[in-house]
């Protein structure tokens, strides 16, 4: 989510074949933020099922 709005192109889906079978998912999104401004970024579980997240990484790169 960016400033409260979902980014549908970044949706990730994983369907394990068995209980306790874990998968990796990833997504990339380019967010253009004007100079002197800011943006809130969040990760949200939109499933009705509980999920476990480990070693989550959000990488932010500043480009001049």
Please answer whether residues 45 and 51 qualify as being in contact, where contact means their C-beta atoms are separated by less than 8 angstroms.
Answer: yes
> What per-residue confidence (pLDDT) applies to 8?
73
- How far, in Å, CA of 35 to CA of 18, rounded? 47
Instruction: Report the predicted TM-score, pTM, of the whole model to 2 decimal places.
Output: 0.54
> What per-residue confidence (pLDDT) applies to 16?
81
Per-residue pLDDT of the chain (64 residues; tens, 9 = 90+): 677 777 777 777 888 888 888 888 888 888 888 888 888 888 888 888 888 887 878 888 877 6
Q: Which residues contact residue 12 at a Cβ distance below 8 angstroms, ignoring those fewer than 6 apart?
A: 25, 26, 27
3-class secondary-structure state, position 10: helix
């Amino acid at each position: 989510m960016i400033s409260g709005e979902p980014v549908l192109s970044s949706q990730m889906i994983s369907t394990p074949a068995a209980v306790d079978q874990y998968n990796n998912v990833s997504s990339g999104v380019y967010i253009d933020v004007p100079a002197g401004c800011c943006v809130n970024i969040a990760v949200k579980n939109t499933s009705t099922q509980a999920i476990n997240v480990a070693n989550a990484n959000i990488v932010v790169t500043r480009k001049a």
